């Protein structure tokens, strides 16, 4: 039996519903027939330029229509799609290109060329490509054939290429379809980048598989996203906490009609209850989920009926995914005990490109994330294992402090790092805040061992393209600011507010 590889999906859907709208982007609507034609054209161009089975085709840029066209075209000829987030710094882009060695690079990004000699096409050159009357033929994938090489964010080490097969992608889509009841009538918001598996595998690919419509907002600003939801009558929303907060703060929040949204999926971190309630008050139910690139990306999601009652959980594992919590010594954690999550399932990667295998003999994959599992099987996410801060004999996770600070008026961003054996919170504010009072608030809400020894105001918290904190960089900046502050105090006898190379800063200790 022929395996339904990723490259055949648009062609098959175009045969069933040719006039159905597949994509709305940049003011233009594309039917499934239009998208299938574009996929054929890009596939022909790739073949003419020597791309064949197993070759890599990189796409670097924003949510341009050619991102999806190149994805399906690449898969249709047996090649491997390499998505590169437009916000990656150039050294990371170069590292991804050097590691993946693509034969072709397609670019929809204003950044400069990252200094490689790979054959490059601008997305605008391929937009609206006209192909032949028939789909590319001559290759049928095996389930384990590589379809996407998606690179990790590289927070603590060089980006690694996650190998996702045609079967991995199909199983992710099947499980998300079941969890969210996708239908041809759905209109899905695509504000998250196609170049991240969250922006692709949670709602976009399930929507296209079922014949629905994907709509790309003109920007990721809250006001533009709200306008898109109202104008396109969006039914499926996928967003991270930052986008949800941006929408809530936008001038059009109160007046925007959100009644079309039937379900909302949240990834990239837990949404505080205050924010969840703000959307519930507008009739929008947000469901926490958990995933990672290595799972293509979905691992768990809350049932819609529990979204308002289990606000601290990311739900139960999807039907064909297993999750267990493991102690550092490899033994299984008890109920509600925090440990590293290991996962296995048909959507979970075999491993990393050109690296040693990481799955064990039974197929379990270590995620590097920590959390707990309760007696009923619900997952509670805590943080990345690498973010753990050890204070005395206790372990403190930055996310615990971040959630305690979330929603405080005037506070724009916050995190915590360990510095010289102490926990230091870093905050970005948009209005003056009494940091001593803020520290007192944390003492009343956190366990004693989790309370930061001080809070410092900084101009910004360094984050990578995925929004994850660059902790080593922040730690170094805070340490440098401490040295500068001590020097200032010695010369001016001032122990209060100081200015350094990291920008404006105030420090409050216990």
Domain span including residue 273: 6-382
CATH of the domain at 404: 3.30.300.30
Q: Stretch 465-485: mean pLDDT, rounded?
A: 81
Confidence of residue 366 (pLDDT cuts 50, 70, 90): very high
Same domain, 215 and 342: yes
Three-class SS of 10-41:
HHHHHHHCCCCEEEEECCEEEEHHHHHHHHHH
Backbone angles phi, psi at 422, to 5 degrees: -120, 155
Confidence of residue 393 (pLDDT cuts 50, 70, 90): confident
Q: Stretch 367-372: mean pLDDT, rounded?
A: 96
Same domain, 182 and 230: yes
Same domain, 375 and 433: no
How many CA within 13 A on the CB side of residue 222?
Answer: 16
Task: Give the pLDDT confidence score for residue 456 in this predicted structure.
Answer: 94
Q: Residue 421 and residue 405: Cα distance in Å, rounded? A: 22
Same domain, 20 and 144: yes
Same domain, 313 and 402: no
pLDDT tens track for 149-191: 999 987 667 899 999 999 999 999 999 999 999 999 999 999 9
pLDDT tens track for 233-256: 999 999 998 899 999 999 999 999
Q: Is 381 helix (H, G, I), strand (E, B) or coil?
A: strand
Give the CA dihedral 150, 155, 156, 159, nearest 10 degrees.
20
Greater pLDDT, 215 or 137: 215
Greater pLDDT, 153 or 332: 332
Task: Give the pLDDT confidence score for residue 125 in this predicted structure.
Answer: 85
Distances 389 to 383, 384, 456 between C-alpha atoms, Å: 11, 11, 17
Tokens in use for 341?
A: 């999550």
Q: Stretch 351-356: mean pLDDT, rounded?
A: 96
Task: Give the pLDDT confidence score for residue 503 in this predicted structure.
Answer: 39
Residue 490: Cβ within 10 Å count: 9
Same domain, 49 and 106: yes
Query: Among 44-48, 190-194, 476-480, 505-509, which is the least confidently predicted range?
Result: 505-509
Q: Specify the number of domains making up the chain.
A: 2
Confidence of residue 501 (pLDDT cuts 50, 70, 90): very low
Same domain, 368 and 473: no
Compute the C-alpha angle 201/39/466, nearest 5°.
30
Same domain, 64 and 152: yes
pLDDT tens track for 414-463: 999 999 889 999 999 988 889 999 999 999 999 999 999 999 999 999 98
Distances 309 to 236, 302, 427 between C-alpha atoms, Å: 21, 10, 30
CATH of the domain at 348: 3.40.50.12780
**Is the pLDDT reported for residue 465 higher than 80?**
no
Residue 460 lies in a domain: yes
Same domain, 274 and 373: yes
Q: Residue 225 and residue 219: Cα distance in Å, rounded? A: 7
Residue 309 lies in a domain: yes
Last residue of some domain: 323, 349, 382?
382
Residue 298: Cβ within 10 Å count: 30
Confidence of residue 54 (pLDDT cuts 50, 70, 90): very high
Same domain, 297 and 365: yes
Q: Residue 441 and residue 420: Cα distance in Å, rounded? A: 24
Determine if the peptide bond prior to 297 is cis (ω within 30°). yes
Block residue for tokens 């919590």: 325
Bridge partners of residue 500, in order along the sequence: 503
């Amino acid at each position: 039996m022929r395996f339904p590889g990723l490259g055949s999906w648009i062609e098959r859907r175009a045969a069933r519903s040719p006039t159905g709208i597949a994509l709305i982007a940049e003011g233009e609507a594309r039917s499934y027939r239009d998208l299938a034609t574009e996929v054929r054209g890009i596939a022909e161009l790739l073949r003419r330029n020597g791309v064949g089975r197993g070759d890599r085709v990189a796409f670097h840029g924003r949510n341009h229509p050619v991102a999806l066209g190149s994805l399906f075209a690449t898969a249709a000829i047996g090649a491997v799609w390499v998505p590169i987030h437009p916000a990656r710094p150039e050294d990371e882009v170069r590292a991804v290109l050097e590691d993946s060695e693509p034969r072709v690079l397609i670019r929809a990004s204003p950044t400069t060329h990252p200094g490689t000699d790979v054959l490059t096409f601008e997305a605008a050159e391929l937009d609206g490509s006209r192909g032949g009357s028939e789909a590319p033929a001559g290759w049928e994938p095996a389930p384990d054939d590589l379809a996407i090489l998606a690179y990790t964010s590289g927070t603590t080490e060089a980006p690694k290429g996650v190998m996702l097969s045609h079967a991995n992608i199909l199983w992710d889509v099947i499980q998300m379809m079941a969890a969210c009841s996708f239908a041809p009538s759905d209109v899905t918001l695509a504000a998250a980048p196609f170049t991240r598996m969250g922006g692709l595998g949670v709602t976009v690919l399930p929507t296209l598989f079922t014949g629905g419509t994907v709509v790309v907002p003109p920007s990721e600003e809250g006001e533009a996203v709200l306008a898109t939801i109202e104008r396109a009558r969006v039914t499926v929303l996928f967003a991270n906490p930052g986008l949800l907060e941006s929408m809530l703060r936008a001038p059009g929040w109160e007046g925007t009609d959100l009644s079309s949204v039937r379900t909302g999926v949240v990834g990239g971190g837990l949404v505080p209850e205050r924010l969840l309630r703000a959307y519930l008050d507008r009739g929008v139910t947000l469901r926490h989920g958990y995933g990672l690139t290595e799972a293509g990306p979905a691992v768990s999601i809350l049932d819609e009926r529990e979204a308002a009652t289990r606000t601290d959980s990311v739900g139960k594992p999807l039907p064909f995914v297993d999750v267990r919590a493991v102690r550092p010594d490899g033994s299984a954690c008890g109920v509600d005990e925090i440990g590293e999550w290991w996962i296995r399932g048909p959507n979970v990667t075999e491993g990393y490109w050109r690296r040693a295998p990481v799955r064990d003999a039974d197929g379990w994959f270590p995620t590097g994330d920590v959390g707990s599992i309760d007696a009923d099987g619900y997952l509670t996410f805590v943080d990345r294992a690498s973010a753990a801060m050890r204070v005395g004999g206790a372990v403190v996770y930055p996310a615990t402090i971040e959630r305690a600070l979330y929603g405080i008026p005037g506070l724009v961003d916050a995190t915590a790092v360990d510095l010289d054996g102490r926990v230091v919170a870093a905050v970005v504010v948009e209005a003056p805040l009494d940091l001593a009072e803020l520290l007192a608030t944390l003492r009343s809400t956190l366990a004693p061992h989790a309370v930061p020894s001080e809070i410092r105001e900084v101009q910004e918290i360094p984050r990578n393209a995925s929004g994850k904190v660059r902790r080593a960089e922040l730690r170094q900046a805070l340490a440098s600011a401490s040295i500068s502050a001590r020097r200032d105090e010695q010369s001016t006898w001032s122990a209060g507010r100081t200015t350094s190379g990291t920008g404006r800063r105030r420090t409050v200790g216990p």
